[in-house]
Structure 1
Amino acid sequence: MATTHIKRSSSSSRLVNYAEKRAVQKDGHNLDIDYAKSEFKQIREIYGNKGSTQAYASRVAFSPKEFDPKNTQDQIKALEIAKEIYSTAYPNQQVALYVHNDTDSLHVHAVIGAIDLQIGKKMHGNWQQYREKLVKITDKVVKNHGLEVTIPKPRPEKLSMAEIKMKERGQPTWKDKIRQAVDSTMREAHIIDFKSFKSKLREKSVDVFERGKELTYKLTGTNYKARGSKLGDDYKKETIFNELDRRTELQFGRNNERQGSTWLEGRGERLEQEQRARQNLAKRAEDLQRGTLESAKQSIQPSQQRPQKSKERGLGGPSL
């Protein structure tokens, strides 16, 4: 049985430093594993891709019943399976893989470069979809290798006595009201950062606060509040911030494209203006040349109009 998860990171080097020092086996996809940090950096510099997210940290762990952490052959097999999982999930991205055996479960850490090598942009999508896609691919690959597929056990939500009574009366609880407010806020595409997220929730009578790794939601003017982790995965700080970061980076890319098109359109106008200027300059030069020639012609009179020399006296005088 294998379990997996994924989260974003602002430093690929920090992830590599942590994973590499404890690794008993390692390998890479779309990079040389011995130069992982420099190759992650090189790709970022080549594509000039800015933003807070440099990489994604993921891990796939195997059951002690299926793999012995101290067995070298099991370590190699686990690395082979992990490479198949991540190369299938992220075929166009750099992935550094490190096998750890420092716990009862043999596990593989993956550092996934954020940039798609085929298009030169960061991967975009819904965070929940990232996780679901990776879980599905993991289950499929481990099943093909004869391993047990993980079946997650749903955790029942714990309700307070006040919530139980409200549900019995058919009334929505304060947690339901908070969820509805967050859902409707996140459906608005222009909400791309925490400031706008917080402001919009306030309009819906919900205050939100950062508390370390948690978000705490509170109905305005009441003592009813709940942590995001208690409301569900979709309301956790990690989920909300990852989605807001995705929207910000997507908006940043669109602005760059829009500026690029404006530049191209302006470039076309500039070329036309330069061409007209050259044509006008050539016309003026031609006119000037024509005027010069005409002036020269006028200065040279025909021979019959010139004064005739007298055979006996000077020029043009009467004969005596």
Structure 2
Amino acid sequence: MTNPEKTEQSFFVSAINCLTAESAFDEMMNTKIRFGKTSGVQGFHIIQSFAPGEVTPEQAHSIGQEFCKRLLGDRFEAVIGTHLDKSHLHNHIIVNSVSHIDGKKYHSSYQHYYREIRKVSDELCAEYHLKVIDPKDHGKHYAVWKAEKAGKPTLSQMLRDEIDLVIRDCFDFPDFLNLLEKKGYAVSRNPNRKYLTVRPPGAKRNFRLDRLGEGYTVEDIKRRIQEQQRAILEGRISAYQPLPVRHYRLAGSWQHTRKKKITGFYALYLRYVYLLRRYKRPTRKRISYEMRREVIRLERYQAQFLYLHEHGISTTEQLAMRQAQIEQEIQQRTERRQPLYTKRRYEPNEEIKEMLTREIDQQTTALRELRKERKLCKQIANQVPGIQQNLREFEAKRTSKQKEVMKHEYQRRNR
């Protein structure tokens, strides 16, 4: 944040409720140690940007200082750095998560951003006659934004796809709602509610149709159904479009070789990943909401599958043994790292201090990877029962469908 290539001059870096910007880190750490709150979130990062050419570097930094004073008062320590490396000047603000006055944690939430952070910044910009952003729509949730950026499906997109499929099969809006309920969706039919909401099977929250985007409000859905019925009556589209059935004939012979039987977690994940990858392919085949949601998690399951394969884990006992090894190594590295902080703090020799810092960083990097591995093991242990249940339901549905197809074929042949 205080990179000289970005701040250019030292007076574009300052501290709030600290003696100096150089001593801010040690002061913040001392605050955490004094109140016994060294774990959890360590700090918060706020970026305050200005339009190109509307402020000078001095004004941008002055506004950042005033912003921190109004937002934080005298309770929280912060460092402000004004970066000049972009066409638009912007302030980077780091806030300590623990108050140096009473030891209480800084409260950060979506509502706090709009009611406090953004409110104070907008007031300052208005006082300085600067541009104030007036968004036309609500910001996207970070998980949605991240999924869209990575090109992955989201729960909202899955719901839109499901609505598209239901519209193809319905005749009017009440029929649309009935079909959603038959598919396991909970539909709010309360006339006192202003907005219509639906909750997919297995989901934890309701979705408002008007927030799914253009074409998915109640009025839009009614219009789409009417346009579809009109097109069917005019013969522009078919009322029923059966899925194409393809038959393949294989020539030659297969060589059967006895392969080693795969069992345990490895076999379970292998089967499940194969199933999800098949569903991920572009197809017109309809799948349940639960399975669509599982497809989104395909990359997570693939990573877990590769981890099990790499470490030869196939049973609950082997997984528990690996977890115990990780916990032991975490404890050993933590105990090895702890005295290094004390040595570095009181070490007068800068070269030895740098050496201690490198060793601390190495231990920290190793601990970070071990904690990721521990989290992965916990996820596997928690998800195995759900995967087993999903596979049982899938096999039961497939068996039921095969019996129904055989029954219909028998009836057709004996007419």
Q: TM-score, normalised by structure 1?
A: 0.46
- Give the structure with the higher percent strand: 1
- Of structures 1 and 2, the one scoring higher in RCO (CA 8 A, sep 6+) is 1
Structure with higher Rg: it is 1
Q: TM-score, normalised by structure 2?
A: 0.36
